Amino acid sequence: MSRILLGVAGGIAAYKAAELLRRLKESGHDVTVVPTRAALQFVGAPTWAALSGHPVATDVFTGAETVPHVALGRHADLLVVAPATADLLARAASGRADDLLTNCLLTATCPVLYAPAMHTEMWQHPATGANVDTLRERGAVVIDPASGRLTGADSGPGRLPEPAELAAIAQTVLDRPDIATAAASRDLAGLRLLISAGGTREPIDPVRYIGNASSGMMGYALARAAALRGAEVRLVAANVGLPTPAGVAVTEVRTTAELAEQMSKHAAEADIVVMSAAPADFRPESAADRKIKKTPETQTLDLRLVQNPDILAGLVTDRTDPAQVIVGFAAETAATPDELVELGRAKFARKRCDLLVLNAVGDGRVFGRADSEIRILGADGQVSEPLAGSKDTLAHHIWDVAGGLRRDR
């Protein structure tokens, strides 16, 4: 069980922190909430105490005999500030220690994660940018805010990312503390990444389709991890019902043809292309323009299927930049690890991409699950040892390899 300090600054997005707290608790973590005085104007202390199971204080004098302003920061495994307002970022960057939260930020020896939330003008102000740069230079992880509806009628960048996304990032940093270093240094900054996610659907008629069980969770985890590490990310999503990761541009598609069109359209400008979507290999030769009716006389339905284009192989063939890295995925129903590798090598030879991520599917594995197990096959023929964990953690493993390969070119 990890010990997490959840700092809450005084912004309207403080109500979302209650949901974040619930998710962290349900994941088995011990969470202590440290709100600012302003935060208590939005969500009261009884709410934080009831949800966390710990008393709530905002000053260094309450429970002074335990020296909370030192003890809390020293004993935490992770400190998350959500929302982090412009004022909180300014105070943290300047080293202020005028309440319990800022004292904890100065005494914390664990990774620190800030999730900013504020009006667009405040986020884009040079002072805020300088404060964010300062915090990152000191090793803190600062998540870029999402774009969307803000307080009142305002809309734009400055929205607090969804609690599920923040919880996933927090868990990833706990699982791999070195991710905090990669995120703080923005080690993928300057790279343009193109990622596909989800599963395509090929229409039979206006209401029915041929599809697969891909949820898009791996592709979204890859996008979230890359954005956290500073990359410019475009995600082509095929029938995915997940919240858009903060700082990621999303293009939605339905069919394999649409997926192929969008991947081809954006591939030339990408430094790394990841084909993690599961496109349908076949589609009906023709789709009915009206719903096919079931009648007593119609006991069977014959469909003639034709092969869809191979998107991954096409991306490799059409590549114009020799430094571009192309990553494919192979989801196989392998009975043994050796068979998985054998199937992966065969696919690698056909696709000729630079990296191939292998995973065994079926029997409730991979699709729709938060965790997975992968092996990474490189162009040199080497296969990594099995890597298991959450898809967010595995996404960072993939970027470690793909990003390193791109830098070597």
- Give the DSSP H/E element, type plus range, for residue 355: strand 355-360
Asked if residue 367 has pLDDT above 70, the reply is: no
Query: Is 338 strand, coil or helix?
Result: helix
Residue 354 has which token pair?
């630079």
**Please, which pLDDT band fits residue 254 given cuts at 50, 70 and 90?**
very high
**Please, which pLDDT band fits residue 68 given cuts at 50, 70 and 90?**
low
Q: Across residues 248-254, what is the average pLDDT?
A: 96
pTM for the model: 0.91
Residue 246 has which token pair?
């903060």
The Cα-based distances of 367 to 359, 361, 370 in angstroms read 10, 7, 9
Q: Across residues 334-351, what is the average pLDDT?
A: 88
Residue 99 has which token pair?
């309440």
DSSP string, 261-325: HHHHHHHTT-SEEEE-SB--SEEESS--SSPPPP-TT-------EEEPP-HHHHHHHT---TT-E
What is d(CA 42, CA 122) in angstroms, rounded to the nearest whole number? 20
DSSP string, 163-206: HHHHHHHHHHHHH-THHHHHHHHTTTTT-EEEEEEEB--EESSS
Tell me if 228 sits within 8 A of 126, measured CB to CB.
Answer: no
Looking at per-residue pLDDT, the higher value among 309 and 61 belongs to 309
Q: Where are the domains of the chain?
A: 3-185, 192-408
Q: Which fold has domain 3-185?
A: Rossmann fold (3.40.50)
pLDDT in tens, 179-207: 999 999 999 999 999 999 999 999 999 99
Decide if 212 is catalytic. yes
pLDDT at 253: 97
Q: Which position among 103, 131, 212, 308 bears the catalytic label?
A: 212
Asked if residue 69 has pLDDT above 80, the reply is: no
pLDDT at 336: 86
* Domains 3-185 and 192-408 alike in fold: yes
What angle (nearest 5°) sits at the alpha carbon of residue 172, between those of residues 169 and 175?
155
* Residue 52: closest CA among 29, 72, 73: 29
Asked if residue 49 has pLDDT above 70, the reply is: yes
Asked if residue 71 has pLDDT above 80, the reply is: no
The Cα-based distances of 370 to 9, 364, 390 in angstroms read 30, 12, 6
Asked if residue 65 has pLDDT above 80, the reply is: no
Which CATH number is associated with domain 192-408?
Answer: 3.40.50.10300
Tell me if 45 sits within 8 A of 56, measured CB to CB.
Answer: yes
pLDDT at 361: 78
* Residue 161: closest CA among 198, 94, 213, 115: 115
Tell me if 200 sits within 8 A of 280, measured CB to CB.
Answer: yes
% the chain with pLDDT above 90: 76
What is d(CA 88, CA 116) in angstroms, rounded to the nearest whole number? 9
What is d(CA 67, CA 108) in angstroms, rounded to the nearest whole number? 14
**Please, which pLDDT band fits residue 1 given cuts at 50, 70 and 90?**
confident
